[in-house]
Amino acid sequence: MTETNLQQQTRQAADLLLNSKHAVALTGAGMSTPSGIPDFRSSHSGIWSEVDRIEIASLSSFRYDPDKFYGWFHSVAQMIWSAEPNDAHTALASLEKAGLLEGIVTQNVDGLHQRPGSINVNEIHGHLREAVCVDCLQHHDSESLFESFVATGIPPNCSSCGGHLKPEVVFFGEQLPHEAIAAANALFDSTDMVIIGGSSLEVAPASELPFRALEHSARLVIINREPTYLDSRTDVVLTGDVAELVPLIVGEVHLEQ
Ligand code: ZN
């Protein structure tokens, strides 16, 4: 991408944003890789190279052997707990604050969108702020529990019954969180512009949400390192690092204000 092309494309993306009334963002693992969190669902990330991801992170094997999950999850949790939001997270938060972005739908469970101030964040693969006891089904605030797990490597237990706690992230074979999915669908049913950042659109339902938007002729901007199956139906495709490219678009927007 030449400098001139890049400027034209970020300008075009900024114009689409400024002319939209209901812009939304859809983000995936690529949003957090610049923060040092690898793509856990990708077989290319190296994270799954030693273990079968279905075996480790499925609901049935968690019930059978939670320690196996927690043994794997320890290094992952360390990465998540030491990660800081990057410039793309900050840029999207500033758009929402300026009234130019209605909300974010994310596949990420790391909570990094909220830290620079994004408010309407719909986490369709769950999050780590809560955990549920697999025995008595009690919900627990889990931030401090996982913080101490990161430090000690000792899996957290239910304070009521001593049972194993499962983080409120979506495991393989598990239903997606109804509220977040309903909110995501509603955003995509009414949006007129979608910014897709760091998602290769390979995992449903994130892969299907842009279609809801295209059905009523919403405009699309995709920022990703790899091509997606929707590139040919997209107004602006920016190839590269979201932490560099999303702030360039937002920079163009602020110039107009
Ligand atoms: Zn319990």
pLDDT at residue 189, as a whole number: 97
- List residues bridging with 141 in a β-sheet: 130
Give the closest residue to 252 by CA, choosing from 142, 94, 120, 106. Answer: 94
Distances (CA, A) of 80 to 108, 234, 249: 11, 31, 27
Question: How remote is the CA of residue 137 from the centroid of ligand 1, in Å?
Answer: 6
pLDDT in tens, 56-80: 778 888 988 999 899 989 999 999 9
Distances (CA, A) of 4 to 11, 28, 127, 173, 231: 10, 28, 40, 46, 20
pLDDT at residue 178, as a whole number: 96
Has residue 50 got a pLDDT over 60?
A: no
The gap from C-alpha 88 to its chain's centroid, in whole angstroms, comes to 12
What letter would DSSP give residue 85? Answer: -
Please say if 254 is a catalytic residue.
no
pTM of the model: 0.93
Has residue 257 got a pLDDT over 70?
A: no
pLDDT at residue 46, as a whole number: 54
Question: How remote is the CA of residue 130 from the centroid of ligand 1, in Å?
Answer: 13
Question: How remote is the CA of residue 134 from the centroid of ligand 1, in Å?
Answer: 7
Helix (H) or strand (E) holding 122: strand 121-123
Q: Return all residues near 232 (Cβ < 8 A) that are at least 6 apart.
A: none
Q: Tokens 């955003």 belong to which residue? A: 187
Share of the chain above pLDDT 70, in %: 92
Catalytic residue (choose from 22, 74, 113, 125): 125
Question: How remote is the CA of residue 142 from the centroid of ligand 1, in Å?
Answer: 13
When pLDDT is cut at 50, 70 and 90, the band that residue 121 belongs to is very high
pLDDT in tens, 130-157: 999 999 999 999 999 999 999 999 999 9
Give the closest residue to 112 by CA, choosing from 130, 98, 128. Answer: 128
- Higher pLDDT: 43 or 183? It is 183
Question: How remote is the CA of residue 63 from the centroid of ligand 1, in Å?
Answer: 13
